[in-house]
Amino acid sequence: MVQCDRVECQHLLLKVDLLKLLQDKLFWARKAKEIAKSKVSRVKTFLLFMGRGLTRLSDWLFLNNTARVRGWSRSVIKGVMAVTTASFYLKNVAHFVHYLIEVPPRTCRLTQAHAGSRRPTGGGSSVRSSLP
């Protein structure tokens, strides 16, 4: 076994601790990237469902189709995925719609009136109230 004095041992332990910290940080950075990728994928699934068969998507008004939003949410809930996965889909889409209304792209014509209220008694013809 290799002998080292106290200062050398402390220095080696510090290096080992720093290496472990760096590995942990890299792990969580990769994990955060995977989580973000999953969220984007869920929102993309929703947008593809909502935009299917439509030609004008640039104004984002296709998201105001309450029947289609409810159809999508029903298909997610009654689909083959686990309840927790369905919940993630619904929450991710709700966050996306909220963000879209708060920070709209230049061509977006959706308004707060289209998005409705976050209250359960909110307007019946809104994007948010269509999501369970």
- For the chain, the domains span 40-130
pLDDT of residue 115 exceeding 70, the answer is: no
pLDDT (mean) for 33-60: 93
What would the pLDDT profile of 16-30 be if each residue is shown by its tens digit? 888 888 888 888 899
- Taking the model in full, what pTM does it have? 0.70
DSSP string, 9-63: HHHHHHHHHHHHHHHHHHHHHHHHHHHHHHHHHHHHHHHHHHHTT-S--TT-GGG
Q: What is the pLDDT of residues 69-104, one digit of tens each?
A: 999 999 998 888 899 999 999 999 999 988 988 888
Cβ atoms within 10 Å of 85's Cβ, excluding its own: 14
